Amino acid sequence: MQHEKILILDFGSQYTQLIARRVRELNIYCEIHPYNKIPKLSDDLKGVILSGSPYSVREENAPIPNLEGIKGDFPLLGLCYGAQHLAHKYGGEVLPSKIREYGRAYLSFVDDTNPLMKGIPKNSQVWMSHGDTITNLPHRYKIITSTNDVEVAGYQIEGEDTYAIQFHPEVYHSTDGTTILSNFLVDICGCSQDWTPASFVEETVQKLKEKIGNDKVILGLSGGVDSTVAGMLLNKAIGDNLYCIFVDNGLLRKDEFENVLDQYKHMGLNVKGVDAKDRFYEVLAGLIDPEAKRKAIGNKFIDVFDDEAHLIEDVVWLAQGTIYPDVIESVSATGGPSATIKSHHNVGGLPDFMKLKIVEPLNTLFKDEVRRIGRSMGIAKELLGRHPFPGPGLAIRILGDITKDKVRILQEVDHIFISSLKEVGLYDEVWQAGAILLPVQSVGVMGDERTYENAVALRAVASTDGMTADWVHLPYEFLAKVSNDIINKVKGINRVVYDISSKPPATIEWE
């Protein structure tokens, strides 16, 4: 089945992927492409969205898309930079803002007779992020919304289904942003909202069948949501030709190896457990740099999979549970100008010596989408509700070098923290939680003795997709009890701190 499609042209904004999430939440299929690599315009295209950008339209190297065949021919919505480009390119004026609007703003004027602004109340909160302002509009451009500081907060080109807004409807802080996007996608573009979890499963299984045929596939399972959903999709497509491997890299949570293998017993997946702890500890010995640790773990995973693949005759594919945030944090989004934040061990190609092709059924999905897909396939709520856990495991929650003793200490701390969240009903209120072993020792007193032991940081964040996150305000009484339990029960720890940093500017993981 060929779905109606929305094309999102990316100018390097950190928000571009959030636009895609909002479109998909409305059950509409969309694709992101670089502004300078516009695909052939197909019959299923219903509309185009121009993203924001870190650039100014006044810069010499500002990104300029070729909108021939799009503007005036398809419904078009420019967001932030996209709005400024459509004004600047066609005869308007964009100048540096006298008052730079960043963050919350409120609509002081709304033309609710305009199709884009239908149902949007005056004083609606929106999210601004721009250093330039549209000061003059070209001929036939009509203002459809304003704020107290920005007169041209939105406009339509008369005679065209071309619209633009200076703010970001895709960001949660724009309280009526979903309504604006729905007005554009459903009412203006005419999308029928037929891209659902069930349709994704059906179409993905069919594509996997066509792509893989009768080949054998090896999949690394982690016990997490992503690899589990990927495994179930592949199992539906190829059945016994899927060989699942769960590797104990020595960096898992306490008792996780045994628990994960037990979880999969009744799911119909063919799973083999591989104890490779010592192999990972060996390559991590003495490494301190976070990127060096990630790369060492990634390379060793490849070695282990290569060894296991050779034990299975005629394996052709390596499957991975890579999701979209992994991809966009490892390389600049869709080849655009956004910066690499960190590498992920399960993203990218394989070395030449490993003759396996990669299949990634989930690499266009965000975490919440993966969970919806899993629910539609009947995967247990407990498994789907598991907090995300980083591919490199506890290695990136141990700052500094990795030793078996440090892993043991952190496993015990993490177990107390996560178990306590579950016991008091807070686990499902948190998107991700964990503990970080700090390369810091401090003086303490236990009984009548002076101690000089390690500190740990506890981290709990709320998020929807991992792209942004805020720290969770856990009750003081809860934190006090957890801290007390950790210090009393985990030998080697005498101080516990709580991380109250948000993303951005911090990342969720410390390394």
Catalytic amino acids?
Answer: 80, 168, 170
End-to-end C-alpha distance for the chain, whole angstroms? 42
CA angle (92, 93, 96) in 5-degree steps:
155
263 Cβ neighbours under 8 A, 6+ residues apart: 223, 383
254, 336, 480 from 444: Cα distances, Å: 26, 50, 17
Q: Facing residues of 219 across strands?
A: 244, 319
Quote the CA–CA distance of 124 and 381 in Å, as a whole number. Answer: 36
Residue 99: helix, strand or coil by DSSP? strand
Among 263, 241, 245, which residue's Cα sits nearest to residue 315? 241
In angstroms, rounded to a whole number, what is the distance separating the alpha carbons of residues 129 and 233? 39
Residue type, 317: W
Are 445 and 1 in contact by the 8 Å Cβ rule? The answer is: no
Specify whether the CB–CB gap between 150 and 166 falls below 8 A. yes
Task: Copy the structure tokens of residue 495.
Answer: 């101080």
Residue at 56: amino acid letter:
S
Report helix, strand or coil for 106: strand
In a 10 Å sphere around its CB, with 0-12 CB exposed, 13-18 middle and 19+ buried, how is residue 139 labelled? exposed
- Residues 340/329, Cβ–Cβ less than 8 Å: yes
Distance CA(214)–CA(55), nearest Å, equals 48
Closest CA to 126 of 89, 158, 168: 168
The owner of tokens 């970080």 is 436
C-beta separation of 417 from 447 below 8 A: no
Q: In angstroms, what CA-CA distances link 275 with 248, 251, 266, 311? A: 5, 11, 22, 15
Task: Give the SS3 label for residue 89.
Answer: helix
Dist. CA 157–CA 142, nearest whole Å: 6
